[in-house]
Structure 1
Amino acid sequence: MSTWYEKLAEYFPVEEMKSEEHMKLLLKEKGDIYHKDESNKHVLMYVETEDFVFVDYLFVSGTARGEGLGKKLIEQLKKKNKPIILEVEPIDYEDTDTEKRQRFYSREGFKHAKSIGYRRRSLATNKVTELEILYWSPENDDENSIYEKMKHTYETIHTYKDSHLYGASYESVNKVLTLDDSEIEPMKS
């Protein structure tokens, strides 16, 4: 039987994975905001602050797909009545999971943050990965607000004790996350 970390590591590309030590340290030292929800069918790692939720990893086992488990987990987070933010791989038509993930989040009401760019160099592989930011907001938060929340997540969670854990530091938040003001849609009232 795989551990929660092994399940995540089998499913997510190495470039997107935190080390097991990093995640255990977050659970121990940032346990007030970093959480793990797991069963034999799923693993959900997420950050919950006073004003938003960030989904770090969501894994649903292949045997549970189609049971509505992913929807139930997202619904639990929506009940917190805070913006929910997550990172996803862009659609790669050679990897059908990327398209399925994007369709799933779209059905759940998530929007693409068109104005936010996200390019992160993996300390494990030195490969630069581009990810898309998706968000759901009960109050129609604008992308400026989502951008600030992502910066907070990057600095508080993704780079937490990075030089200690990986022997090097991740790039600064301003190199990784960008905001293109011309892409921001005006708020609807």
Structure 2
Amino acid sequence: MNWFEKLNQYFPIEEMKSQEHMETLLKEKGDVYHKDEGDKHVLMYAEFPGFVFIDYVYVSSAARGEGLGHKLIEKMKQKNKPIILEVEPVDYEDTDTEKRLKFYHREGFTHAKSIGYSRRSLATDEWSQLEILYWSPEDANEEELFEQMKQTYEEIHTYKDQTFYGKSYQPVDEVLKLDEKRRPDSMLDTFEQKD
């Protein structure tokens, strides 16, 4: 099974980029978009001058318990830049969503409470809401994170979208919203309160 098939089996269709999209990013934006692949993992990420965006992390079930996910996140933390990623809100019928949030909480990630993020999938035409998590070597400012997410959306997520999907994603201002008063219930908040 190649790296794309591994990701495709693990992530919901509405979150997946096409293989052509990712291969083009690796080829045409190779200074920014990267693939870290091994027998038991696939990590796709974008590294910008001021931050890292983790696009996909896949760890084989055969490697669970070996600390491989922790090692991959540590490798990203060594870059000494804020790390941003998107996760699905917890779905109690899908235990993987809760496991993912617990994992990122253990790794020191925080929920960006003022950033709202919902987009229409070009694969399914359905709207999905995602939560933004971040880790920062210094105190991160959510306004800066918001600008970094906008940059990621415009330079990575929607890169040549018309070419790959035959239509375009929504404009960034329809997808990402910054609201200082927004305090959504997040599973991550629940984990933070338990500590």
CA positional deviation for 1:142? 1.1
* Identity over aligned pairs, percent: 68
Q: Which amino acid is the alignment partner of residue 172 of structure 1? A: P
1:65 and 2:45 correspond: no
Q: Secondary structure at the match of 2:99?
A: helix
Once the two structures are superposed, residues 135-183 of structure 1 have per-residue CA deviations (whole angstroms, 9 ceiling, x without a partner) of 0011111111110000000000000000111110000000000110234
3-state SS of 1:181 partner: coil
SS of the residue corresponding to residue 129 of structure 1 reads strand
Where does residue 5 of structure 2 map in the other structure? 6
Dislocated runs of 4+, deviation >3 Å: none
What count of residue pairs does the alignment treat as equivalent? 183
Letter in 1 for 2:139: N
Does the alignment pair 1:16 with 2:2? no
Amino acid at match of 2:46: V
Q: What is the CA–CA distance in structure 2 between the aligned matches of 1:181 and 1:115, rounded to whole Å?
A: 5
Q: Distance in 1 between matches of 2:117 and 2:65?
A: 30
Deviations along 1:57-83, one digit per CA (max 9) or x if unpaired, are: 000001101110000000000010000
| Separation in 2, partners of 1:78, 1:39 | 19
Aligned to 1:152: 151
Quick one: distance in 2 between partners of 1:6 and 1:116? 31
Amino acid at match of 1:32: D
In the superposition, the TM-score normalised over structure 1's length comes to 0.95
C-alpha separation in 2, matches of 1:143 and 1:108: 19
Cα distance in 1 for partners of 2:112, 2:90 equals 15
Partner in structure 1 of residue 97 of structure 2 = 98
How many angstroms apart in 2 are the aligned matches of 1:135 and 1:183?
17
- Gaps of at least 5 residues in structure 1 are 185-189
**1:86-127 per-position Cα deviation (integer Å, ceiling 9, x unaligned):** 000101111111000000000000000011011010111101
Show CA shifts across 1:27-77 (max 9, x none). 000000000000010000000011100000000001101110000000000
Aligned partners of 1:101, 1:176: CA distance in 2, in Å? 23
Aligned to 1:114: 113
Residue matched to 1:187: none
SS at match of 1:36: strand
Give the TM-score of the pair, scaled to structure 2.
0.92
3-state SS of 2:50 partner: coil
| RMSD value, Cα | 0.9
* Equivalent residue letter for 2:61: G
Report matched runs for 1:15-94 at 5 Å. 15-94=14-93
Q: Secondary structure at the match of 1:123?
A: coil
